[in-house]
Structure 1
Amino acid sequence: MKKLWRWVGLVVIYIIGIYLSLLSGVYLLDGRTALDTKKIDNNIKKLRMYPWFNELYEHEEHHRSFFANIKVRKYLESSIRVSRLLNNEREQKRFIRMLEEVAQVRKK
């Protein structure tokens, strides 16, 4: 019986680890911490179909952030965050605020 509970505990810990790695963009299985450029580009392509995002993307002040800023790229790497961005107006406002903060830091 103790072995069964030990296995259940290990499975739960493993599932939690996978969930956290998906949220943070860090891959636990292969130890990779680099950003996935192909995934980011695909998510940007998906977002560019929406006028509100396309306007941000083409705005000179924010355009560079999509290629150079790690915080923005890490956000765009997550398919979960991108789908939330598409479906949630509050999340869109939060993303725009993040872009504006990045632009302010760059100006200094």
Structure 2
Amino acid sequence: MKKFWRVLGSLIIALFAILLSLVSSTDLVSGGRTGLKTDKIEKNIEKLKQFSWFEKLYENEQHHRSFFVSLKVRKYLESSIRVNRLKRSKREQERFIHLLEEVAELRIKNK
């Protein structure tokens, strides 16, 4: 019986998370804003510059432009949750580096 309640609880949490992500992706929560919050992105970049692995990426010519031009990268850096994960998780850092490499490859292809 305990297993049933545990599974039911997990299911409810998962459904709530899905519902929350759907609501947050609509204009109801954002108030209809379509642009990114540049000041928040800049503050998060400054927080990440304290780490040597990020500073190297930021100074790398191949990736530096992405911090200002790429919507994918800027949207990623707009999220304080993602930035906090970047500060703590090596795996999240690897994902972010992969994202930067993908954006750089696309930029090269489109030249």
Q: TM-score, normalised by structure 1?
A: 0.76
Name the residue aligned to 1:32: 33
Q: CA RMSD in A?
A: 2.6
| C-alpha distance in structure 2 between counterparts of 1:27 and 1:43, whole Å | 25
Runs of 4+ in 1 over 3 A off after TM superposition: 15-19, 21-24
Name the residue aligned to 2:105: 104
Q: Secondary structure at the match of 1:33?
A: coil
Superposition deviation, residue 28 in structure 1: 1.7
| C-alpha distance in structure 2 between counterparts of 1:22 and 1:52, whole Å | 34
The 5 A counterparts of 1:1-108 are: 19-20=20-21, 28-108=29-109
Name the residue aligned to 2:4: none
Q: List alignment gaps of at least 5 residues for structure 1.
A: 1-14
| C-alpha distance in structure 1 between counterparts of 2:23 and 2:84, whole Å | 14
Deviations 1:19-73 (A, max 9, x none): 437975x772521121000000000000001000000000000000000000000
| C-alpha distance in structure 1 between counterparts of 2:60 and 2:21, whole Å | 33
Q: Secondary structure at the match of 2:81?
A: helix
Q: TM-score, normalised by structure 2?
A: 0.74
- Percent sequence identity over matched residues? 55
